[in-house]
Amino acid sequence: MIRTAILLGLTLIGAVAWSWLYGPSLEPQQSELLNHLVTIWAGFTAYTYLAGVLTGNHSQVDRLWSTVPIVYAAYAAWFTGWDPRATLMAGLVGLWGARLTFNFARRGGYSWLPWKGEEDYRWEVLRKIAPLNRPVVWQIFHLLFICVYQMGLILLFTCRSPTPGVRVAEPACSPPSTPYSPSP
């Protein structure tokens, strides 16, 4: 189990490193947007960790799973000056997030108070398995896997959509496209 968590973490780090080293260079506007999104990610990650530590409920990421992509996509649309493509993507992400949020709320997943609500049953099971049954190891797992890794995945799968791409030659976080030239 620990090997799996390490493998997942290395995969995430490797994917980001590969993109950074071998992907297309970002334009200044794209870099600025990415920096803003990473700052937002850091805030959400800090919240999920602190709320989990203070409440003992380590399912804080589950509550944000459907709403954080809406924030990222809406911010990217605003940042691009409501570019039609970015705005369309923000709207689609909003509909998708609303559907997920409704289903999660219907099952009792939300409470306005972060210490209320059920914790994912898997965390209880994992806390009983060595070495995660040691408090220090569990807190490291909570910080690195539950908070940093899962919130990072949310940022990356949202960033993969065209929303963060500021209208430049090669959009950030989306595949390169060929320029459109209308026929005469």
Instruction: Tell whether the model's pLDDT for residue 20 goes beyond 60.
Output: yes
**Rounded Cα distance, 5 and 183, in Å:** 52
CA distances 41 to 18, 73, 119, 153, 181, Å, are 20, 12, 22, 10, 37
Non-local (6+) Cβ contacts of 125 within 8 A are: none
Round the average pLDDT of the chain to a whole number and report it: 82
Task: Kindly provide the b/e burial profile for residues 24-52, where b requires at least 16 CB atoms within 10 angstroms of the residue's own CB.
Answer: eebbeebeebbeebeeebeebbebbbebb
- The SS3 assignment for 45 reads helix
The pLDDT of residue 98 is 95
**Rounded Cα distance, 42 and 36, in Å:** 10
Instruction: Tell whether the model's pLDDT for residue 86 goes beyond 80.
Output: yes
Q: What whole-number percentage of the chain has pLDDT above 70?
A: 84
Statement: the pTM of the whole predicted model exceeds 0.85: no
CA angle 159, 164, 166 (to 5 degrees): 155
Residue ranges per domain, the chain? Answer: 27-159
Instruction: Tell whether the model's pLDDT for residue 165 goes beyond 50.
Output: no
Kindly state the average pLDDT of the residues 145-154: 92
Per-residue pLDDT of 99-149, as tens digits, reads 999 988 888 777 777 667 778 888 888 888 888 889 999 999 999 999 999
